[in-house]
Amino acid sequence: MARILIIDTNQPFLDTLSREICHMGHQVTAADSLRQARALAASSDFDVVFLNAEMPDGSGMDALPAIIEAPSFPEVIIFTDVGDADQAELAIKMGAWDYVERPATARAMALSLVRAIQYRARKIHRQPHTTLNEETLKDIVGDSPQMKRCLDRLALSAGSDANVLISGETGVGKELFAWAIHNNSRRAGKRFVVVDCAALPETLVESILFGYERGAFTGADKSQSGLIKRADGGTLFLDEVGELPLSVQKSFLRVLQEHKFRQVGGGQQLRSDFRLIAATNRDLDVMVQRHRFRKDLLFRLRAFSLELPPLRERIEDVPAIAIHHVDKLCESYGLNGKTFSPDFFEVLKRYQWPGNVRELVNALERSVSAARHEPVLFPKHLPVYIRVHLARASVEQGQQATPNSPLPRLGGTEGAVLPRLVDAREAAIAELEQRYLKELMTQAPDMRQACAISGLSRSRLYALLKKYNLPSCFRLS
Ligand SMILES: Nc1ncnc2c1ncn2[C@@H]1O[C@H](COP(=O)(O)OP(=O)(O)OP(=O)(O)O)[C@@H](O)[C@H]1O
C-alpha cells in the first residue's frame, strides 16, 4: 500500500481521484493549500504527491523543492489545467517524476500513478544492489512479488561471472533479462552476442559457432571467425539452448570448460573469454532423461539459474507493462499518447496470455494500429482472436448468457455484434493453424520430418510454434 498526498482545491475532482486511488488499495491524504501541504509533507511520509501547479496561495512550482526534499523524498507528479512546455521542462529538471495536463477523468490520472509507485518501489527495493543501473532496467516492467524476486536474482547474477540458465515459457522476457544481466555485469560495454540455436541449420552450427578455416568445406574460400570468438571479453547468449544438436553439445562443453576451441578445419587452438548466458523454454531435465541433452552440459549451464514466471501468474503486472509498451509504440509511430477505457485493463487481465509478454506486446501493437488517432484504447481495439476467446470463455462459464445468439459478442463497451470479415478470417486461420500444428506435433517423429510433411522451413515452423506457444517437443521414438 502506498501513501499518496493530493494537493488541489477542486473538490469534485479530489473526491473522484481519492476514490480511485483508495480503490487501487492505497491511502490518500488531501491538502487544499500549499501551506498545509508543506506541513503535511514535513511531518508524514508519502510515496507520491500530486501537486497542482496553480494553487490559490501560490505556485506549485515554487513549492516543488520543499516537497521533493521532504523526509520521505516522495515522487511528485505536477498537474495543471494549462499545459506549458517550458514549465514542464523546468519541473522535470527540478526533479518532478512527471508533469501532466489534468486529464478528462480522475481515473486516467490515477493510472499515471501506477508507474510512479512502481518506479519508487523498485528504487527502494534495489537500494542494497548498488551495482544495478536503473537505465538498463527501464524496459523491465512489473512490480509483482514474482518480478521482484527475479530482479533480486538478476542483481545477484550480474555481480558474478558464473554461467546463467534462464528458463521460462516463450515470450516471458528471457532475452530481456539476459541483456540486463550483461549490462549490469563487469562485461557491460563489451559485446553481447546472441545465438538463436533454433534458427541455426544443423549442418552449419559448428562453423557458425566456432568459425572455419579456408578450405574447410566446399565454398569456404576464406577463413571466418565464429560467434564464440566474437563474444571474447563479453557475453555469449545461447537462446533456445535445448535445440543445440547433441554433436555440438559435446564440443561446446569443452569450450565451456577450457574456453579454448579450434575452428572447423583448423589446427590452431584459439581462446575466447566469454560469459555464458543460456535460455530455454524446454524442460532440460526431461530432455536429459530422454538422452536429448547432455547432463554434464546442463550441470555447467546451471551454475546460476533464473526462472521467469509466466505472465498469467503475475497478472497484476499487465497494466503497467501495457502502459509502458503503448507509450513506446505511440512514440515510434509518431502518435499522441493514448489513455485507456476503464474496462481495457480488466479485459487484458482476464486473458491467460499463453504467449506471455510478447503476445501482449503484439496485441497492443495491433490495438494501437486499430485505434490510429483515437485517443482512448477500448477492448474493441484488441485483436479479434482475444475477444473471441474471452467471449467464448465467459459464455462457457455461464457469466454471459446469450442464448439466442449464434455468434459470440465481440465488442467491448461498444457491444458490436459481428466481427469484420477480415478479422473473422484471421481468427479462423489462426484456429486452423493451431489445430494443424498440434496434429503435426503428434505425427512427426522429429523436426526434419515435421518440415518435410508441412512444407515449412525450420525457422518458419519454429516461428509458428512460438506464435501459438506450442511446445516443440516431438514424439521421441
Ligand atoms: N517485464 C517486462 N516488461 C516489459 N516488457 C517485457 C517484459 N518481459 C518481456 N517483455 C517484452 O516481451 C517481448 C518478449 O521478450 P523476450 O524476447 O525477452 O522473451 P523471451 O522469453 O526471450 O522469448 P522467447 O522464448 O520466445 O525467445 C519483448 O518485446 C520484451 O520487450
Q: Give the distance (Å) from ligand 1 centre to CA of residue 141.
A: 10
At 407 the pLDDT is 45
What does pTM read for this prediction? Answer: 0.63
With the CA atoms of 367, 373, 375 and 378 taken in that order, what torsion angle do they form, in degrees rounded to the nearest 10?
-30
Residue 228 CA to ligand 1 centre (angstroms): 24
344 with 275, same domain? no
- Residue ranges making up the domain that contains 12: 3-125
Q: Are 264 and 216 in contact (CB under 8 A)?
A: yes
Residue 250 and residue 165: Cα distance in Å, rounded? 18
As a whole number of angstroms, the distance between CA 323 and CA 338 comes to: 9
Same domain membership, residue 459 and residue 354? no
Contact 184, 323 (CB under 8 A): no
Model pLDDT, residue 420: 65
Residue 130 lies in a domain: no
Distance of CA 327 to CAs 243, 354, 403, Å? 35, 23, 40
The CATH code of the domain that includes 373 is 1.10.8.60
Q: How far is the CA of 463 from the centre of ligand 1 (A)?
A: 15
Q: Are 6 and 17 in contact (CB under 8 A)?
A: yes
Residues 151 and 273 in one domain: yes
Q: Which atom of ligand 1 is nearest to the CA of 147?
A: 1
Task: Please indicate, yes or no, if residue 445 is contained in any of the structural domains.
Answer: yes
- One-letter amino acid of 69: E
User: Whose C-alpha lies nearest to ligand 1, atom 25?
Assistant: 170
How big is the chain, counted in residues? 477
Residues 149 and 294 in one domain: yes
Q: At 327, which helix (H) or strand (E)?
A: helix 318-333
Q: Could you tell me if residue 173 is left (phi over 0), alpha (psi between -120 and 50 degrees) or otherwise beta?
A: left
Please say which residue of 76, 100, 125 terminates a domain: 125
Q: Judge if 285 and 156 occupy the same domain.
A: yes
For ligand 1, is residue 361 a contact (CB within 6 Å)?
A: yes
Give the distance (Å) from ligand 1 centre to CA of residue 165: 16
Last residue of a domain, one of 125, 154, 180: 125
Kind and range of the H or E run holding 166: strand 164-167
Contacts of 408 by beta carbon, 8 Å cutoff, 6+ apart: 388, 391, 392, 395, 402
Rounded to the nearest 5 degrees, what angle is found at the Cα of 402, between the Cα atoms of 396 and 404?
Answer: 125
- Ligand 1 close to Cβ of residue 236 (< 6 A): no
Domain boundary residue among 273, 307, 341?
307
CATH at residue 274? 3.40.50.300
What do you get for the CA distance between the two ends of the chain, in Å? 54
Ligand 1 within 6 A of 140 CB?
yes
Q: Any long-range contacts for 12-17 (C-beta under 8 Å, 24+ apart)?
A: 13/102, 13/106, 16/105, 16/106, 16/107, 17/50, 17/106, 17/109, 17/110
How far CA 279 is from CA of 184, 242, 244, 275, 349, in Å, comes to: 18, 8, 12, 13, 27
Asked if 159 and 228 sit in the same domain, the reply is: yes
* Contact between residue 208 and residue 200 where contact means Cβ atoms under 8 Å apart: yes
ipTM of the complex: 0.99
C-alpha cell at 65: 523543492
Asked whether residue 477 is assigned to any structural domain, the reply reads no
Q: What is the pLDDT at residue 419?
A: 63
pLDDT of residue 474: 53
Going from the Cα of 170 to the center of ligand 1, the distance in angstroms, rounded, reads 8
Cβ of 467 below 6 Å from ligand 1:
no
Mean pLDDT by 10 residues, the chain (477 residues): 91 89 89 93 89 92 84 86 81 80 76 80 54 84 90 86 92 96 94 93 89 84 91 96 92 90 87 95 92 90 88 95 95 92 90 94 95 91 87 65 43 50 74 85 80 84 81 49
Asked if the structure places residue 472 within a domain, the reply is no
The position carrying cell 485483436 is: 383
What's the CATH code of the domain at 104? 3.40.50.2300
- Percent of the chain as helix, strand, coil, to the nearest 5: 50, 15, 35
Q: Report the distance separating Cα 465 and Cα 471, nearest Å.
A: 7
- Indicate which residue's Cα is closest to atom 8 of ligand 1: 173
- 237 and 121 part of one domain: no
106-125 and 145-158 helices, crossing angle to 10°: 40
Residues 169 and 301 in one domain: yes
Give the Cα separation of 300 and 257 in Å (integer). Answer: 8
Q: Is residue 397 located within the same domain as residue 459?
A: no
What letter does residue 104 receive in the DSSP assignment? S
Give me the pLDDT at residue 96, please.
Answer: 83
- Within this chain, do residues 315 and 302 fall inside the same structural domain, yes or no? no
Q: For residues 231 and 193, is the Cβ–Cβ distance under 8 A?
A: yes
Phi, psi angle pair for 51, to nearest 5° = -125, 120
Residues 253 and 331 occupy one common structural domain: no
For strand 275-280 and strand 164-167, is the pairing parallel, antiparallel, or unpaired? parallel
To the nearest 10°, the Cα dihedral for 331, 333, 336, 341? -100
Torsion sign over Cα 387, 388, 391, 392: negative
Q: Is 211 in the pocket of ligand 1 (CB under 6 A)?
A: no
Residue 172 in contact with ligand 1 by CB distance below 6 A: yes
- What local confidence, expressed as pLDDT, does residue 416 receive? 44
Residues 6+ apart with CB under 8 A from 301: 163, 165, 241, 256, 276, 278, 284
281 lines ligand 1 (CB under 6 A): yes
Helix (H) or strand (E) holding 14: helix 11-23
CA 21, distance to chain mean position in Å, is 25
Residue 474 lies in a domain: no
User: Tell me, what's the pLDDT at 124?
Assistant: 58
Task: Choose which residue among 357, 360, 366 to substitute to test ligand 1 binding: the one with the highest number of ligand atoms within 8 A of its C-beta.
Answer: 357
Question: Which among 148, 170, 175, 237 is the best mutation to test ligand 1's pocket, defined by most ligand atoms within 8 Å of the CB?
Answer: 175
For the CA of 176, the closest atom of ligand 1 is 18
The answer to the question of residue 132 being in a domain is: no
Of all protein residues, whose CA lies closest to atom 18 belonging to ligand 1?
173
Number of domains in the chain: 4
Judgement on whether residues 147 and 254 belong to the same structural domain of the protein: yes
3-state secondary structure of 269: strand
Classify 304 as helix, strand or coil: strand
Q: Name the grid cell of 392.
A: 467464448
Question: Helix axis angle, 60-68 relative to 34-43, nearest 10°?
Answer: 10
Question: Residue 125 and residue 91: Cα distance in Å, rounded?
Answer: 26
